[in-house]
Amino acid sequence: MTTHYPTLLNRHPQNPILTAADWHYPAHTVFNPAATLLKDGTTLLLCRVEDRRGHSHLCAARSPNGIDQWQIDPTPTLVPDPVGFPEELWGIEDPRITYVPELDKYAVVYTAFSRHGPGVALAFTQNFRDYERVGIIMQPEDKDAALLPRRIDGRWIIIHRPVSGARAHMWLSYSTDLKHWGDSRIMMEARWGAWWDATKIGLSPPPIETPEGWLVLYHGVRHTAAGALYRLGLALFALDDPQRCIKRGSDWIFGPEAPYEQVGDVGYVAFPCGYTIGSDGDTLHLYYGAADSSIALAAGSIQMLLDWLRQQP
Ligand code: BMA
């Protein structure tokens, strides 16, 4: 698409970088992956895999360069456990990974699809093979959650997205033990009317910690006569108080414009759940689900995202 708007995130020419055809066992679609860089420099994606029942589980894919040569687990990595955790009855979806230095563990926050709707669940892992489940931490309807990597003023913070009536905003909740959450506060509201992010917004990947604040990529859902359009925007929150929004961009910065984002099980969806940061400390590798069907990669500069945000009205 020709445009005079700046391109802040560049699609990788090999997109989509992963599809169900790469899997070693029957998979209908693979999308909405969480991402992290392991200590040895390997990129790990925890991919949402949907089967032909419509239920999802998570499967890890590892690559030395984050682009290709993916080693995909031969069997599902994290499968729903509806006996021990009834909230996982209809699958687990859309993970977000946060490495927590205090625990030397990765927190995986995911959507547990219960009989009563989607809620937020938490598990910890050190190796992406063995998981300790905390279980459901936010009852339905709630999703799009991620943990911040450290305590602030002694408390852990989770960002999540409960639905209230027809509207859905981003909230923050606090905990001292990572199991019991409360003191919930609105972090950022969906806009109204014609806005690209009217009515329903949600966190995309976990916030990016920068010297200027927590850089948050969030998705906005625009309902049109043709269906929903998922696009991405930016906002910055105070490092010592993530409830405080320093700046919110007006324009969306990334939307479903490539064919693989427009055509699939759910067309016109670009849905990132994870990123890695390059060795220069600035290059953002954003991993996203394309049209609820495949996995794609886009790259940008964190500094350029911050500069763009600063220039927004
Ligand atoms: C959202 C989430 C995502 C999905 C998107 C588009 O509500 O459920 O898993 O990618 O819808 O279908």
Quick: pLDDT tens for 208-227: 999 999 999 999 998 888 88
Q: What is the pLDDT of residue 2?
A: 54
Give tens-digit pLDDT for 52-74.
999 999 999 999 999 999 999 99
Give tens-digit pLDDT for 38-57.
999 999 999 999 999 999 99
Q: What is the pLDDT of residue 1?
A: 55
Q: Whose CA is nearest to atom 2 of ligand 1?
A: 94
User: How many C-beta atoms lie closer than 10 Å to residue 239's C-beta?
Assistant: 16
Q: Whose CA is nearest to atom 10 of ligand 1?
A: 292
Of 114, 245, 260, 120, the residue nearest 186 (C-alpha): 245
Low-confidence ranges of the chain (pLDDT < 70): 1-2
> Residue 40 and residue 166: Cα distance in Å, rounded?
45
Q: Which atom of ligand 1 is nearest to the CA of 228?
A: 6
Q: How far is the CA of 102 from the centre of ligand 1 (A)?
A: 32
Q: How far is the CA of 117 from the centre of ligand 1 (A)?
A: 13
Q: How far is the CA of 218 from the centre of ligand 1 (A)?
A: 13
CB of 273 closer than 8 Å to CB of 205: yes
Residue 191, exposed/middle/buried by CB under 10 A (0-12, 13-18, 19+)? middle
Q: What is the pLDDT of residue 148?
A: 98
Provide the 3-class DSSP secondary structure of residue 75.
coil
Q: Which two tokens stand for residue 110?
A: 């995911």
The domains of the chain, with CATH numbers, are: 18-310 (2.115.10.20)
Q: What is the pLDDT of residue 145?
A: 98
Q: What is the pLDDT of residue 47?
A: 98
CB of 58 closer than 8 Å to CB of 31: no
Enter the pTM of the model: 0.97
User: How many C-beta atoms lie closer than 10 Å to residue 302's C-beta?
Assistant: 19
Q: Which atom of ligand 1 is nearest to the CA of 265?
A: 12
Q: Which DSSP category does 306 fall into?
A: H
Could you tell me how many residues make up the chain? 313
Strand pairing partners for 112? 92, 119
* Element (DSSP H or E) covering residue 49: strand 43-50
Residue to mutate (ligand 1; options 266, 268, 273, 295; most atoms within 8 A of CB): 266
Q: Which two tokens stand for residue 19?
A: 């599809």
Which residues are CB-contacts of 82 (< 8 A; sequence separation ≥ 6)?
Answer: 88, 89
Using only C-alpha atoms, the chain has a radius of gyration, in whole angstroms, of: 18
CB of 161 closer than 8 Å to CB of 142: yes
Q: Which atom of ligand 1 is nearest to the CA of 144?
A: 2
Q: What is the pLDDT of residue 224?
A: 87
